[in-house]
Amino acid sequence: MPEGYRGRRLPHQAGVFFRRLKKLTDQYALKPPGETGGFVWQNFNMKDIKKKIRQLEKLRTVPAKKALIPLLEQYLKDNAGDICAWYRLACCNDFLGRELKAEPCYAKVYKGWHALPGKERPGFFVGYGSTLRNNKKLAQAAKVLREGVKHFPSNPELRIFLALALYSAGDFKSSARELFRACGGLPPSCVNGYDRAIAYYVKTLK
């Protein structure tokens, strides 16, 4: 039970989550968090690890992500070539605000991002580029995001994050241009028929 909830009635969904998490930790002898707030799993086998990974990755909560990280790390010791697992680990660290730990995981994915499911590929470029930007690697962030835009030109999120990276680098005109292009990638209903005007002004922006 999390600190601050002892002796109090939990909402039903929260109660179910913490009971499930406690069952997992009891079953696999979860040690207390270390200095990094992570967990150490014992008495596991690879089949169990895969099962718990599938269960926990569905939960978008801080406790679930903290519990998932050591499972993924243990799995990757014997499956270092699994690009999808590296991406999951990068996303967990990213979700927890640990960009410095997320960056090397994203870098491993970058070498083989085509192995990701198609629907996850644009999100990879967004996550990696945004992490590089937060880690003050602005030129590299712009490079990664531009590559993402090249592969997925109709994805407005990529252009928005590229605009943020360019803005942080002081390239305000290019940043504005990418934002306007992102608007051009939205459905016509979102720009009320101004798509042609936006395209023209982006082209002639000075």
- The residues spanned by each domain of the chain are 44-204
Residue 191's pLDDT is 58
Which tokens belong to 35?
């200095």
The CA distance from 173 to 179, in Å, is 10
Count other Cβ atoms within 10 Å, centred on residue 7. 6
Cβ contacts of 36 within 8 Å, gap of 6 or more: none
CB neighbour class for 129 (10 Å; exposed up to 12, middle 13-18, buried from 19): buried
Residue 38 to residue 69: CA distance in whole angstroms: 7
Stated length of the chain = 206
Which among 48, 55, 56 has a CA at the least distance from the CA of 74?
48
The pLDDT score that the predictor gives to residue 22 is 60
CATH superfamily of 44-204: Tetratricopeptide repeat domain (1.25.40.10)
pLDDT, block means (10 residues), the chain with 206 residues: 51 60 53 46 62 73 87 90 94 93 97 94 96 96 97 91 94 91 71 65 67
- Per-residue model confidence (pLDDT) at position 63: 85
User: Which residue has 């086998």 as its token pair?
Assistant: 45
pLDDT at 9: 56
Return the pLDDT at 188.
64
